[in-house]
Structure 1
Amino acid sequence: MNKRFTSTWLRGLTKLAQIQTKLVRNALKQNAAKAASASAKASKVGKAKAQAAKIDPLGLRSEGLSPVKPPRRKAVRPKAASDSGPATQSPRAAATGMRKSGAGRGAVESRVRPARDAWLKGDWTRSFHSAPPAPGDLVSHLAYGMYLPPVRGGGKRPLVVMLHGCKQTSEEFAQGTRMNALADEYGFAVLYPEQSRHAHAHRCWHWYDRSERAGDQEARAIVSLVQAVIARENIDPSRVYVAGMSAGGGMATMLAVRYPEVFAAVAVHSGPVFGDAHSAISALATMRRGTRDDPLAVIADVPEFAAHPGMPAIIVHGQSDDVVSPDNAGQLALQFVRLNRFVDASGLLLHGTERESALPGLVRRDWMLDDVPLVRLCRIEHLRHAWSGGDGAIPFHVSNGPESSRLIFDFFRLHRRITTEGYPLAQQVLAV
């Protein structure tokens, strides 16, 4: 009895041991399979990362992220200073497009040739001006940049005021237009007022809004800055010019109409017709199609028209502009023709001559007085909403096409503002 029980107990124990051994082996096989699968997956991911690294240096794709472009480095701005002591930078800084790329490394040149445009000879200053505040405001600070080429002789020099467009800064406009390189060549000073983001999220000038807290305030601040610079920098007050692009062009027209006693000539690049828009919504409509009214009647309705002495003007516009319709350029030119009393209210030519010529890359139309153009319209072929002949590395500027900055200053050189008895704000034409 005892032997039979012992034998049965041993057989059961042996069978239990076999079952446990089998379970352990199965568990080991499953773990080995999982480990092999994980190893294969890790190897596959590693190969994918290695392959992605070849085409994606930031390693974003291997992490399931969308690759992004690295931010474009900007020139470091000095801390703002008052008008009495503007901060000064090397000409290899913001105004020139030259930026330090690190310790022991050279400066990064503009991608546009000739490279001499990146190596200017003068000084760039960055500061702010305390302008007369708008009603209800305590202070009004207008930021600006300024370029002064080396002094030539002891005489006073001209001043060109440059007004940027939307989504631009004074530094970008200086580099994009390359006006400072031209200043080195001819010896004039260049002033770049800058719209604040607090006034407009996209830094647009309120060229369409003449209210005291918008366009009117901005125009007064710019004129106040110009007058301060004239007094401080030995500027010839009879040779102060204003130029602008897009929204800056609209503000340049406003300044030319409202302050003819300050400016000798105006240049509008890719800008809107004047006096048609009175709100942001109507401004977009004007940009898209120009004015639906007679542009001669629109300018005649401006309060300053009756006593305006006239203003030499050059209008530059791209024929393929899809932001500000090229129709604006033709209408704006007619408005300045009327403002300079070339034509009557019906458009009949009263004096002077009209001439059209085709030049490489553009068609030019002039309204001449004594063989000198008082109003000039330049239509540039194939140009979209951009400054022609500038630095193509900067948005809203292209390197190809006629050099707009030279077209503009060559026109400015023909004109200066003088004072004559009985007509204190008359403009005089100077052929050079």
Structure 2
Amino acid sequence: MTMKPNINMLEATRLTREGRLAEAIAILQGTLSGDHPPATSSSSSEDANHRPAGRRTARIIDMVPPSAGGGAWTLPTFDLPPKASSPLGGFAGASGQPQVPEALRGFLDRMGQPGSGVSLDGLAGRGSARAPAPLPEGARFEERTFANEAGSRTYKLYIPSGYTGQPVPLVVMLHGCTQSPDDFAAGTRMNELAEEQTFLVAYPAQAQSANVSKCWNWFNAADQQRDRGEPSLIAGITRQIMRDLSVEPGRVYVAGLSAGGAAAAIMGSAYPDLYAAVGVHSGLAYGAARDMPSAFAAMRQGGAPHQGEAKQPVPTIVFHGDRDTTVNPINGEQVATQSKAGSDLRTTVRRGQAPGGINYSRTVACDDNGHPMLEHWVLHGAGHAWSGGSPSGSYTEPRGPDASREMMRFFLEHPKPAAASRV
């Protein structure tokens, strides 16, 4: 079937939870808009009358997190009413369960059958409620806010105890779905590394008002453009820190996990003048999706990435587990290919084993001068988690090579010439 880009899964989910399956299926079919609920509900009609004209409901991937023991993210379980009270009309069968029209069957097979809980892996991690670790003496982990025409976002900024006003590198870390700056900092141990090596770390926080699962909206075309939408907010946070503190020229980097990894790839492609290098862990290439249906397709089988503004290779380090059932590992290959910007780089492959037991293949691509421009780490047997991370954060694989330390090594090997910057 053809999946229309105006499908509002949040509204369809809400209606289904209320037992209004006929209306939910109408939304999936595209015969209703999620922004204009049907007049059969007086409360819904009243809400619609008071909704500001032209308001756009953000498309989201609204998933239910796995249990504490791990597993896949799933669509919400639909609590269907009993047959006697079910307002299913012609969609109800003898069992009281909906009889899905054939035209929708393929779509629902991918999205999870109503009432079944069948999973569709999502871009997310299990949020952590653990208390933040105590700060070293003299260090600060501050909460700040940035706002522009696209909205506002809070962010956490780690300032190590060794920072006394001297120019230091800056790393912008983009969390995955349901994660928070504190959770992501704990899982990646990036603050500990910053304390050891003296650099700043910023953690922009996605607002739940922008995405109910706090995912960066990497799959929305409006959030993939330079100086528009979420990229403008992330770049604005970066520039604000560069104005407020002493950041070493040409040593500004961006990295992320999962949805944050996909957002980091967008930032590297859209702002090659601002970020000297990019780290993408378990993410997707810029432009791999342009709406929600293509996002699920890209996560499952890869997308059709675009080149972006970068005309030269963007120094990029990629980590991806080859047992990742959330984001197909082919996406890591697409990120690597995109970062080359069509250049013919010479590659070598090395294999090794992390102290924790995870085997890996590390592909290094160099330019004509022998300078590494790309590293692609394939983690054998690993799933959708930050390699070498701490169990104190969500979605980490402690047995893998230390992705944070390897990213920082790669980043510091790639300062951007001052002449190339136009921040």
Q: Amino acid of the residue matched to residue 124 of structure 1?
A: F
The answer to whether the 8 A contact 2:184-2:394 is kept is no
Q: Amino acid of the residue matched to residue 228 of structure 1?
A: Q
Specify which of 347, 366, 369 is matched with residue 368 of structure 1.
366
**1:194-231 CA distance string (max 9 Å, x none):** 00000000000011213169993111011111111011
Q: State the Cα distance separating 1:309 from its structure 2 match.
A: 3.8
Q: State the Cα distance separating 1:419 from its structure 2 match.
A: 3.6
The answer to whether the 8 A contact 1:260-1:310 is kept is no
- Is 1:268–2:280 an aligned residue pair? yes
Specify which of 329, 334, 338 is matched with residue 331 of structure 1.
334
**What is the distance in 2 between the residues matched to 1:183 and 1:264?**
18
Q: State the Cα distance separating 1:368 from its structure 2 match.
A: 0.8
**1:385-432 CA distance string (max 9 Å, x none):** 000111123221122211110111110010011144xxx459xxxxxx
Q: State the Cα distance separating 1:371 from its structure 2 match.
A: 2.9
What does 1:327-406 align with in structure 2 at a 5 Å threshold? 327-337=330-340, 339=341, 341-343=342-344, 352-360=345-353, 361-369=359-367, 370-406=369-405
Aligned to 1:128: 145
**1:135-184 CA distance string (max 9 Å, x none):** xxxxx221111111123576300000000001101110000100011101
The answer to whether the 8 A contact 2:277-2:411 is kept is yes
Q: Amino acid of the residue matched to residue 297 of structure 2?
A: A
The answer to whether the 8 A contact 2:162-2:195 is kept is no
What does 1:178-217 align with in structure 2 at a 5 Å threshold? 178-211=189-222, 216-217=228-229
Aligned to 1:417: 416
Structure 1 or 2: more helix by fraction: 1
Q: Amino acid of the residue matched to residue 412 of structure 2?
A: R
**What is the distance in 2 between the residues matched to 1:229 and 1:322?**
36
SS at match of 1:248: helix
**What is the distance in 2 between the residues matched to 1:232 and 1:328?**
36
Aligned to 1:115: none
Specify which of 299, 303, 327 is matched with residue 306 of structure 2.
299
> How does the TM-score come out when normalised to structure 1?
0.63
What does 1:128-207 align with in structure 2 at a 5 Å threshold? 128-129=145-146, 131-134=147-150, 140-151=151-162, 155-207=166-218
**1:324-375 CA distance string (max 9 Å, x none):** 01111112211112x1x423xxxxxxxx421111121211001112332101
**What is the distance in 1 between the residues matched to 2:159 and 2:386?**
22
Q: Amino acid of the residue matched to residue 172 of structure 2?
A: V
**What is the distance in 2 between the residues matched to 1:207 and 1:417?**
25
The answer to whether the 8 A contact 2:225-2:270 is kept is no
Q: State the Cα distance separating 1:275 from its structure 2 match.
A: 1.6
What does 1:20-35 align with in structure 2 at a 5 Å threshold? none
Structure 1 gaps of 5+ residues are 1-70, 76-93, 99-117, 135-139, 344-351, 427-432
Q: Give percent identity, aligned residues only.
A: 33
What does 1:214-293 align with in structure 2 at a 5 Å threshold? 216-291=228-303
Alpha-carbon spacing, 1:184–1:237, altered in 2? closer, same or farther (3 Å): same
Aligned to 1:314: 317
> How many residue pairs get matched?
289
What does 1:89-104 align with in structure 2 at a 5 Å threshold? 94=132, 97-98=133-134
Aligned to 1:27: none
The answer to whether the 8 A contact 2:224-2:231 is kept is no
Alpha-carbon spacing, 1:425–1:125, altered in 2? closer, same or farther (3 Å): closer
SS at match of 1:172: helix
Alpha-carbon spacing, 1:234–1:357, altered in 2? closer, same or farther (3 Å): same
Alpha-carbon spacing, 1:409–1:212, altered in 2? closer, same or farther (3 Å): closer
**What is the distance in 2 between the residues matched to 1:260 and 1:381?**
31
Q: State the Cα distance separating 1:382 from its structure 2 match.
A: 1.5
What does 1:11-50 align with in structure 2 at a 5 Å threshold? none
Q: State the Cα distance separating 1:273 from its structure 2 match.
A: 2.8
**What is the distance in 1 between the residues matched to 2:128 and 2:382?**
25
**What is the distance in 1 between the residues matched to 2:184 and 2:360?**
23
Alpha-carbon spacing, 1:212–1:168, altered in 2? closer, same or farther (3 Å): closer
The structure with more radius of gyration: 1
SS at match of 1:276: coil
Aligned to 1:16: none
Q: State the Cα distance separating 1:73 from its structure 2 match.
A: 4.9
Aligned to 1:36: none
**What is the distance in 1 between the residues matched to 2:312 and 2:403?**
27
Q: Amino acid of the residue matched to residue 149 of structure 1?
A: P
RCO comparison, higher one (Cα < 8 Å, 6+)? 2
Structure 2 gaps of 5+ residues are 1-126, 354-358
The answer to whether the 8 A contact 1:162-1:242 is kept is yes
User: Which stretch shifts more, 390-399 or 177-186?
Assistant: 390-399
> How does the TM-score come out when normalised to structure 2?
0.64
Q: State the Cα distance separating 1:120 from its structure 2 match.
A: 7.3
Alpha-carbon spacing, 1:419–1:233, altered in 2? closer, same or farther (3 Å): closer
SS at match of 2:387: coil
Alpha-carbon spacing, 1:157–1:213, altered in 2? closer, same or farther (3 Å): closer
Q: Amino acid of the residue matched to residue 243 of structure 2?
A: A
Q: Amino acid of the residue matched to residue 232 of structure 2?
A: R
Q: State the Cα distance separating 1:121 from its structure 2 match.
A: 5.9
The alignment's C-alpha RMSD in Å is 2.3
